């Protein structure tokens, strides 16, 4: 067994939790693994944390009468995390509604993305889908307007939260330089709240579905011309990307974090991110799936979409690559590739399941 990697039983249970998030359907025979006397419950909790699934694990155990199969000393922190995750989701949802109202008053178009909208549209249970900040997508031309509105409603720019002192401090000069060279993101906007559980709120503003200098581009004017409104629970509705562009964004975000060497070494992809894509795909109508395929072809996104969906299909036994007409891009050498800057290609060995279940950083070698 690879050092530090969970054994098969633990990983099988993690995958079971991942695909059953928020669902009442009876789980399969993998549910009995947690009752085995040699089952590594501590490693289960660790892997759930690594993949953003700790709240989902707690809900799964509650939902299927398995809470007492977790050792007594692990139960309180795991179950408490679900309560905290619910509180955080509610807090951030209220804050997102406040920001959305301010943007609407200023006549600024934006779309909320990732956890703040997926919590309801894909999972339907507050707190199950873990998220720690508020993500928004804007047009490049609106970057400065967005900044002005966020400053007006109490946020500060280019700061980090110091959890020890509970204060905001300027980001490092190195980080500031990185953002200047990569104008697809603003540095996080933050504000202190005075709340004991949520002492600060962070907003991540992006203006590109890929990244600055990427060879794959999606015009943001087209993306933000197709914004829709979605319920996010608690009577709150927020603007978000269309179903087509949401699918593309989820895939391209995973591609960015998993394919670019620098981001993969710092924060590699998680199982929860692939589940987001699978859940969203399941909810698309045949017509919308056709629109996704047409958009992929129109903007020449075959390679990044095949990289992500090739791994997605292998993880969950799906056929998304074929449905999107990008099978010609699903080359074994491409699926094992990574990017290290303009024109530089690397490779990694194994498959995505092995990469996800192994806690040590992925090893990249020259292609």
Residue 1: the pLDDT is 36
Residue 187: the pLDDT is 94
Residue 268: C-alpha distances to residues 134, 255, 260, 339 (Å): 20, 10, 9, 14
Residue 125: the pLDDT is 86
Residue 65: the pLDDT is 95
Cα torsion 339, 206, 209, 128 to 10°: value is 90
DSSP state of 156: B
DSSP state of 361: P
Between CA 289 and CA 292 the distance in angstroms is 5
CB 220 within 8 A of CB 249: no
Residues 6+ apart with CB under 8 A from 26: 64
Residue 348: C-alpha distances to residues 137, 202, 263 (Å): 31, 33, 14
Residue 367: the pLDDT is 87
* Burial class of residue 317 in the structure, from the number of CB atoms within 10 Å of its CB (0-12 exposed, 13-18 middle, 19+ buried): exposed
Between CA 13 and CA 257 the distance in angstroms is 25
DSSP state of 122: I
CB 341 within 8 A of CB 304: no
Q: Angle CA(312)–CA(52)–CA(63) in degrees, nearest 5?
A: 95
Mean pLDDT by 10 residues, the chain (367 residues): 63 97 93 95 96 98 96 97 97 97 96 97 93 96 95 96 95 91 91 96 96 93 95 93 98 97 93 98 98 98 98 98 98 96 89 94 93
Residues 6+ apart with CB under 8 A from 155: 189, 190, 191, 201, 203
pTM: 0.95
Sheet holding 345-347, edge to edge: 337-339, 345-347, 365-366
Which CATH number applies to 87-240: 3.30.450, 1.10.600, 3.30.460, 3.30.1460? 3.30.460
DSSP string, 171-187: PPHHHHHHHHH-TTBPP
Between CA 232 and CA 251 the distance in angstroms is 21
Residue 2: the pLDDT is 44
Facing residues of 238 across strands?
Answer: 230
Residues 6+ apart with CB under 8 A from 90: 126, 234
Residue 6: the pLDDT is 55
54-63 and 8-19 helices, crossing angle to 10° = 80
* β strands within the chain, DSSP E: 111-113, 134-137, 159-162, 167-170, 189-192, 200-206, 228-231, 237-240, 337-339, 345-347, 365-366
Residue 5: the pLDDT is 54
Between CA 86 and CA 74 the distance in angstroms is 19
Classify 113 as helix, strand or coil: strand
């Amino acid at each position: 067994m690879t050092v530090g990697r969970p054994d098969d039983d633990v990983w099988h249970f993690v995958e079971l939790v991942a695909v059953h998030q928020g669902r009442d359907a009876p789980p399969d025979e993998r549910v009995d693994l947690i009752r085995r006397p040699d089952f590594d419950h501590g490693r289960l909790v660790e892997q759930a944390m690594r993949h953003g699934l700790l709240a989902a694990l707690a809900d799964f155990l509650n939902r299927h009468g398995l809470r007492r199969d977790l050792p007594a000393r692990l139960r309180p922190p795991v179950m408490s995390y679900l309560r905290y995750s619910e509180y955080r989701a509610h807090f951030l949802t209220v804050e997102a509604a406040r920001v959305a109202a301010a943007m609407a008053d200023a006549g600024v178009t934006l779309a909320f993305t990732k956890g703040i909208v997926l919590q309801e549209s894909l999972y339907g249970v507050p707190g199950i889908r873990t998220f720690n900040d508020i993500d928004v997508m804007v047009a490049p031309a609106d970057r400065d307007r967005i900044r002005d509105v966020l400053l007006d409603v109490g946020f500060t720019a280019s700061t980090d939260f110091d959890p020890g002192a509970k204060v905001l401090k300027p980001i490092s000069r190195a980080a500031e330089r990185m953002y200047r060279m990569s104008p697809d993101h603003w540095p996080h906007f933050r504000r202190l709240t005075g709340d004991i559980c949520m002492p600060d709120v962070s907003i991540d503003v992006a203006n590109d579905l890929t990244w600055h200098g990427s060879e794959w581009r999606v015009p943001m004017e087209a993306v933000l011309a197709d914004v829709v409104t979605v319920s996010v629970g608690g009577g709150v509705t927020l603007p978000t990307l269309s179903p087509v562009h949401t699918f593309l964004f989820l895939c391209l975000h995973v591609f960015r974090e998993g394919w670019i060497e620098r981001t993969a070494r710092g924060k590699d992809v998680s199982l929860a991110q692939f589940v987001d894509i699978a859940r969203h795909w399941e909810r698309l109508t045949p017509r919308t799936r056709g629109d996704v395929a047409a958009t992929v072809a129109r903007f020449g996104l075959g390679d990044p979409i095949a990289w992500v969906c090739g791994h997605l299909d292998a993880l969950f036994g799906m056929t998304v690559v074929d449905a999107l007409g990008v099978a010609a891009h699903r080359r074994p050498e491409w699926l094992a590739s990574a990017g290290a800057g303009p024109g530089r290609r690397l490779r990694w060995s194994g498959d995505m399941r092995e990469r996800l279940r192994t806690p040590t950083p992925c090893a990249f070698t020259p292609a």
